[in-house]
Amino acid sequence: MTHPRHPRRPLTPAPRPGAAAMSRRPLLAAAIAVTAAATLTAVLLPAGSASAAAPYKGANNASVQNDFNGDGYRDLAVGAPGAADGSVEAAGAVVVLYGAAGGVSAARRTVITQSTAGIPDSSEEWDRFGTAVASADLDRDGYADLLVGTPDESVGTMGMIGSLTVVWGGPTGLKGGARVAPPTGLDEGCGFAGGLAVGDLDGNGAPEIGVTGNCTATSYTGPFTRSGTPARRTVVNGIGTNRGVVMGDIDGDGKAERLWLPGPTDGDLGGPVYVEVSQGDYYELPLADGYSGQIGDINGDGYGDLVTGIPFDSSPMPGTPTHRGGEIQVLYGSAQGISPAQRPRIIHQDTAGVPGTSANGDLFGAALSIGDTNGDTYADVLVGAPSDTVGSARGAGAATLLRGSATGLTTTGTKVYTQDTAGVPGAAENGDAFAAATHLVDLTKDGKAEVVTGAPGENSDGLLWTAKGTTTGPTVTGSTLISGTGVGLKRKYTEIDFGAALPGARSSI
């Protein structure tokens, strides 16, 4: 990838959050500044710890990255970080729903906690296992493996150190796991593995993992051994936040690029965006902002496009240069990647063609997903606004689907889904947080992505809504709700938060 150079902005890192920080803190409270000229520490692991001769049954394409049991259908991992594990309060759980021609259902599932046989560590109160989820074929055996981020994991007497767990896929589904070693020197409140992204940076079929936290960011280079050991670990000091990383191919060379989005800084409350050229070398996209991001080919030209979300406006965060209620920004890829001179397309709830009206605190852009919902080869964008008011229901939440086209992301034909939308089961209620997490993924193998949204605030339970993709886009006819208790999860005192995390997206509220 070639690119113009851009000067890096000197910034001062903000202090680390203390242990007293609440586990359901907003993203704003987790935001820290970055050092633009970041310090990198490469950790080379023992020779032979990840063999180049490991079985290799297929590249880490979208299908392999999501198919845990190898049946040809993509599967869906759903985080429920508030779920009790037996009598252990808020230990957390991940529910895996297996794809099929008819979509996902509560009947075809696996529930994983830290007390599941073969899973490292043990369930403890307020660990919130399942705060972040992702998948990739880490050992290149042809089966997707599950990655689980637990940023509230305690180590000894120190709270919120964080941990990253891999659960291995295979012909019978997920079984056994390993702990991926965190960087050394993590302190209380660092929240390691609050954000996850996967992609193949060098094109060898072995994925890399980008991991963020409140204190640092970490890169793991595959392939991995079954002990959870990568070929290489690289610590990037000063670039981590609880979202902070996105991976995808923006220059069409078949290799992913990695972009770091560290969140608000002293010099940029909208959140700077850095493109990683090589380890330790970055350039900034100075006209862009973003707290979180996703990459997909929106205009069908063969290059990945970047969509970022900036959900906070001046109501919770004075001085943020974001449209009232939040916004998304779109930058288009090319053979040269994304140029620093490119000005992003900005879309919000007051943009012509977008139904609804922006209001303070809507959190439009808090969740993002990209996928082709109608099979026209143009990727669409699903945007969550989990604090949107629906009727008189405050914080009920809404999901907005924007269409891809040959000219890029368009507001023509935009759809908004809430629990008051005709055909969507249930009803909008205060605090449901519908679309706190969003995901577009083809679960039925028909070439059209299903719409998946989490509503972790639904009652004390949480739920997942799925709508099937068709040639005319998602249809609410036959759409389904799956609840946390419906998949066997239990609560003690706190909310289960089923649907708080989906691959590439998790609740920030």
Q: What is the pLDDT of residues 330-384, one digit of tens each?
A: 999 999 999 999 999 999 999 999 999 999 999 999 999 999 999 999 999 999 9
Q: Give strand pairing partners of 451.
A: 440, 467
**pLDDT at 443 (0 to 100):** 95
Burial of 317 (0-12, 13-18, 19+ CB in 10 A): middle
Tokens of 340: 């620093």
- Cα Rg of the chain, angstroms: 20
pLDDT of residue 390: 97
Residue 505 burial by Cβ neighbours in a 10 Å radius (0-12, 13-18, 19+): buried
Tell me what pLDDT residue 60 has.
65
- Of the chain, the percentage scoring pLDDT greater than 70 comes to 85
Q: pTM score > 0.85 for this model?
A: yes
Residue-wise pLDDT tens digits, 133-162: 999 999 989 899 999 999 999 988 888 999
Give me the pLDDT at residue 119, please: 97
Non-local (6+) Cβ contacts of 490 within 8 A are: 83, 84, 86, 496
Q: What is the mean pLDDT of residues 376-402?
A: 97
Residue recorded with tokens 């009232």:
324
Burial of 414 (0-12, 13-18, 19+ CB in 10 A): buried
DSSP, residue by residue, 124-177: -TT--BTSEEEEE-TT-SSS-EEEEEETT--BTTB-S-BEEEEE---TTS---E
Q: What is the DSSP letter of 206?
A: -
Beta partners for 235?
A: 41, 218
Q: What's the gap between Cα 495 and its chain centre? A: 21
How far is 118 from 476, CA to CA, in rounded Å?
Answer: 39
Query: Which residues are registered as beta bridge partners of 88?
Result: 85
Q: Are 375 and 413 in contact (CB under 8 A)?
A: no
pLDDT for res 241: 54
The residues, ordered by sequence, that sit 6+ positions from 414 with a Cβ below 8 Å of its Cβ are: 353, 354, 355, 400, 401, 402, 403
To the nearest whole percent, how much of the chain has pLDDT over 90? 73
